[in-house]
Amino acid sequence: MTYYLRRVKNKAAWDFEVFREFVERHDVPTDALGHLDTDHNCLSVWEIGTNQEDLIRVVEALATEREYLKPLEYILFSPDIPTRLGIEVRMTPVDRLLVKSVTGWHRDLVIPAGTKLLEFAATIFPDQKPARILEQDILKIIAQGIREDRIPRSFVSKLKDSDDRKKLERLLDSASGDLFPTSP
CB 117, min distance to another protein, A: 20
- Residue from the set 27, 119, 127, 135 that interacts with another protein by CB under 8 A: 135
* CB closer to another protein out of 10 and 38: 10
Tell me the window of 56-64, 108-116, 117-125, 134-142 that interacts with another protein (CB under 8 A): 134-142
User: What DSSP assignment string belongs to the chain?
Assistant: -EEEEEEES-GGGG-TTTTHHHHHTT---HHHHHT---BTTEEEEEEEESSHHHHHHHHHHHHTTSSS---EEEEEE-THHHHHTT-EEEE---SS-S-GGGGGGEEEEE--SHHHHHHHHHHHGGG-EEEEE-HHHHHHHHHHHHHTTSS-TTHHHH-SSHHHHHHHHHHHHSS------S--
170 is an interface residue for another protein by CB under 8 A: no
C-beta closer to another protein: residue 115 or 180? 180
- Between 66 and 105, how does the x/- string for binding to another protein read (CB under 8 A)? xxx-xx----------------------------------
For the segment 141-160, give every residue that binds another protein (CB under 8 A): 160
- Which residues lie near another protein (CB under 8 A)? 9-13, 15-18, 31, 66-68, 70-71, 130, 132, 134-137, 160-161, 163, 180, 182-183
